[in-house]
Structure 1
């Protein structure tokens, strides 16, 4: 195996198309990062379609996070009562813990702690600084007012998040070298959150777009294995500033012209486990 860099940042998006959260460590499930795009808003004006930033760019100004880590007992600045946890999507209501591979009970192996069988509460910080929860009627009302659409909310089970919600593959990866290469070429510094990746890698050798040579190969991060599959083909979402929601089409035009509309790579989960920022990233054939 060849060491290609380190895991610089981990990002998950508890609610599809809202601003995500950077975490120090997380479980990699069979579908991708734990809880990534696990909560979605259905657009009732377009049956079978999610509401996303494509229809409502201002969604990105709302920041979503889990108020408790998936490892039991680790909180993110909030006190959690057992009554806060929602087991309605699990069918059993027992609160049994999930195994990383089967989704049923455990906590042994790889130093892992038990992970919650129901998602921790999701907290949303609005552009005005107000904090509301996914389960608050005020959140749905605000999203309907923002988008001008009737919406319904859905939360997937912790063991399975569907494709479509979680984009086209399990994990989206970008590298620091490719981001840095955009600066002189695009003429502006690109905030990596524009590209909504799950993993930002810092490469040992600063070769832009080196990740595009990894197709068919396997990345190893601790016990986790990810098979790199293909390019990420970009859409108008990268035109949206991830902080202000202001739109600038020039980046997408440049990537379409100079990069065949590709930036970042998709990978699928081969082996589940725990990843942590700062871990070494290895590549094997």
Structure 2
């Protein structure tokens, strides 16, 4: 007599440790416990940006940490993620003064000729979501001899992997992942630039961080897109779909 056997539950790849959105491009992240993710990434992510004075003639018009490292000390908060208009975005300066994102004084503080623009579908460097593991962050910070700080890498999703092995997320490229009620597809390795040299707590730069990636073609973490929109939350397990 044959006995029916139930397949064991799949082993998780890890747990979502932290979840962030960036209401204003290149400003500090806003940590959230739960968020909706859709074709355009995390709800409210990178819906606003500031343009440089020479934006009309420049192929990349946005003011970023590369141009002004102190941008990472400006902290944007989105009070209504489902409606990220100017009235729901507040920005705190490094000194603690709060402005509405469309206050002309905020643009003036960021530089001569700087102006605000709205990004209706978000402005992501390559794909709607960026993901990196805690083990990868720890390894790169160790190599560069800097304090552990995931925000150097500006991810949306920080995953504590089951194996706790650096760069394990590289193996997910081309696979789909289940997280919460969403399904994600890992599309690309994440190519890094000098922005990771900037300490998000102080805005000081340490070139050793990018140099720590010379053996990896300056890649760390992965980019993903959303196959099935849904809700994700910290503490939820991540599975191969």
Q: Normalising to structure 1: TM-score of the pair?
A: 0.76
Pairing partner for 2:98 from 90, 106, 131: 131
Q: Are 2:205 and 1:242 aligned? A: no
Check if 1:153 corresponds to 2:87: no
Contact 1:182 1:189 in 2 (8 A): no
**Superposition deviation, residue 183 in structure 1:** 4.0
In the alignment, which residue of structure 1 is the partner of 2:227? 270
Deviations 1:57-100 (A, max 9, x none): 111111111124x3xxxxxxxxxxxxxxxxxxxxxxxxxxxxxx
1:168-219 CA-to-partner distances (Å, cap 9, x unmatched) read: 1110000011122224332233311000000000111111111001111011
* SS of equivalent to 2:185: strand
Moved more, 206-215 or 187-196: 187-196
Aligned CA-pair RMSD: 1.6
Which stretches of structure 1, 4 residues or more, deviate above 6 A after TM superposition?
A: none
Q: State TM-score, norm by structure 2.
A: 0.89
Q: Give the structure 2 partner of residue 78 of structure 1.
A: none
CA contact (8 A) 2:86 2:102 kept: no
The reply to whether residue 56 of structure 1 matches residue 94 of structure 2 is: no
- Separation in structure 2 between the aligned mates of residue 137 and residue 123 of structure 1, nearest angstrom: 13
1: CA distance, partners of 2:84 / 2:69: 32
Question: 1:156 & 1:282 partners in 2: Cα distance?
Answer: 32
Is the CA contact (8 Å cut-off) linking 2:78 and 2:84 kept in structure 1?
A: no
Q: How many residues align?
A: 229
Note the 1:1-285 alignment, pairs <5 A.
Answer: 1-47=10-56, 49-68=61-80, 70=81, 115-116=82-83, 118=85, 121-144=88-111, 149-157=112-120, 160-161=121-122, 165-255=123-213, 257-284=214-241
CA 1:20–1:184: 2 relative to 1, 3 Å: closer
Identify unmatched segments of 5+ residues in structure 1.
71-114
Q: Is the 8 A contact 2:141 2:149 kept in 1?
A: no
- Quote how far apart the aligned CAs of 1:151 are: 1.9
- CA shift for structure 1 position 156: 2.8
Q: Assess if the C-alpha contact under 8 Å between 1:66 and 1:120 holds in 2.
A: no
Q: Corresponding residue for 2:6?
A: none
Q: 2:205, 2:184 → 1: CA distance?
A: 33
Secondary structure at the counterpart of residue 212 of structure 2: helix
2:29·2:76 contact (CA, 8 Å) conserved in 1?
yes
